[in-house]
Every structure is written in structure tokens, then in C-alpha cells.
Amino acid sequence: MDLVDAHFPDSNRNAEKMARLAATSYTELGFDSVMPVFSIIQESSALGCDIQWEEKENWPTVRMNQPIWSEPDDIKIPANLLTHPDTKCVLDAIKLLRKEFGDEVAIIGKTMGPWSLGYHGFGVEKFLLMSLDDPGKTKLCLDKMKESTIQFGRAQIDAGADALTLPDHATGDLVSGEYYDRFLRELHIELVEKIPIPLILHICGRTIDRMDYIAQTGMAAFHYDSKNDPAESMEVVDRRISLVGNVNNPETLYAKGPEVVREEIRKNLAAGVQLVGPECAIPLQTSIENLKEIPRAVREWHQEHPSLN
Ligand SMILES: [Zn+2]
């Protein structure tokens, strides 16, 4: 943010600043992808949620005091979903990045999955309680909310994205693998069909118990958390899907030095993981040196293993 004078919260709401900040992952850090959708609430703002935009040091969040939905019938995808300033900003930022960088670097967008939208629209606790009490009603809600995922995803393809992250927070500490199978496996297969671009599913936490189901969805990749061992995870997904991520945020990237970052990268590459990077949204105070170590360690590993290039 300081390097290019594009700070939160403006860079979450202004397309030019959003593109400028996203570009730094390529121009300053040396990654081979840029990702302008920093937050997880852009479309929730367009859906009507009250957003706490925060300041420079914090990620924006949905204010949970007044959920916008309580019944399936309340869920309406507004006609201006894609022209609302907080979604249009993302589409414009992707266009700007495509214009500036062409095919030089991968441009990754993001569309939130219906499970995450449920947390934002109903409140986390209310949505989880509904899933326990009334699975049928929950499925009906998911089915309505998925229209946002599809519309926003397709619009980002049109804007020029190469791939999309699809976070759907059926996280390890909140729900089980069996839940993923019951509520999300088929829905994710449908999203893969309806959003024709490589999709990178993101779920935080320990997710080994659902990786077999995830590997059946046709998602291009699964962005996975450091709570999962790379080799064990690769064994479960068994080449059906790529894995990405895994570098620990709160301890390694935030609090340790480049040598620990390098170790985690090498552990992933040795296990055959195809894409490496932070496991989730990085703490905003993460040091630049730790982030630069990620592409540096990847290049070093490939120099040592030329036969794999
Ligand atoms: Zn996450």
C-alpha cells in the first residue's frame, strides 16, 4: 500500500487504486499472478449488506448486527449486482490490469461461493443453525445465493480474468467433511459447469476430510490451509485437482523470517504441490521480505530440479 500509495479502504473501492495495489504482487514481489479482489465482501456490499470498510490496517468485514436475510424468500439478487460501485470496481480493475499487463502475468479474480454468502447475508451462527435444523431450507437458500456467484464470476471472465478464486467457507473448524458432501459437492460441480474458467476453491482450516469430495468437483485447484500436510493432501487428491497455498500466515509469514518461509515452500514442492503461496488472506503487516521469499524459493527449487521444469 505504501509503495504505490494505494491504501485500504480506498483500494477496495476505487478501481484504479485496486489495480495499482494488485499489480505490486508482480512488479514488487515477483509473483506470477495478480489478484485485485483483496476482500471477501465486494458482492455482499452489492447484495445489501452493511460493510465496515475499516482503515489502512484492517480487512473490511460485514457488520453482523443486522442480517439482510432470514428466510429463503428474502434472498433477491439485485438487478444492479454488477453495476454496483463495489462490484463494478472489481470488473474495472481487472480490465485495467489486462490492458496494462496483457498476457505477461495471470490475472486472478474472485467470486464468493453461496456458503460464504450465507454467512454474510444471514449471519454465521444463524446460517449454521439453519443447516442443522432444516437442511432442505438451507439448500434452497444456497440455490438462490449461487446466482450471485455465477453472475459475478462470469462478469469477471468477460472483464479479462484468467482464473477465479471461489472461496466457500465450509471451514474445518465450523463444519465437517460430511457437510461438504451433503451441501456443497454437487453445487460446486454445477458452478464449474456454469463459470467456464479455471476455478480455485478456497476453504480454510483442516480440510483433509473433504478433499476427496472436493477433488470430484472439477475445480481446477484447491487453495488449502497450512493445517493440512502437503504430502498427505496430495495423496488424497491423487492428481484429480491441483493444490495451491499452504504457507502459514499467522506464524510463518507474519512472525517468522524468510528461512522458515523457504522451508514451507520446499516442503510443498517436494510433495508435488503445483502452486504455492499464502494459505489465505495475509496479515496486512506481513513483511515484504517474507513475501518476496515465496517466488525466490520457488525459482531456487526449480534450478535445483531442472528435470521437473
Ligand atoms: Zn481463508
Distance from Cα 250 to the centre of ligand 1, integer Å: 12
Q: Which residues contact 57 (CB under 8 A, 6 or more apart)?
A: 8, 284, 285
Rounded to 5°, angle at Cα 228 from 222 and 231: 85
pLDDT in tens, the chain (309 residues): 999 999 999 999 999 999 999 999 999 999 999 999 999 999 999 999 999 999 999 999 999 888 999 999 999 999 999 999 999 999 999 999 999 999 999 999 999 999 999 999 999 999 999 999 999 999 999 999 999 999 999 999 999 999 999 999 999 899 999 999 999 999 999 999 999 999 999 999 999 999 999 999 999 999 999 999 999 999 999 999 999 999 999 999 999 999 999 999 999 999 999 999 999 999 999 999 999 999 999 999 999 998 876
Distance from Cα 169 to the centre of ligand 1, integer Å: 7
Answering whether pTM is above 0.95, one says yes
Distance from Cα 220 to the centre of ligand 1, integer Å: 18
Q: Which residues contact 229 (CB under 8 A, 6 or more apart)?
A: none
Distance from Cα 81 to the centre of ligand 1, integer Å: 24
> Given its phi and psi angles, is residue 297 left (phi above 0), alpha (psi -120 to 50 degrees) or beta?
alpha
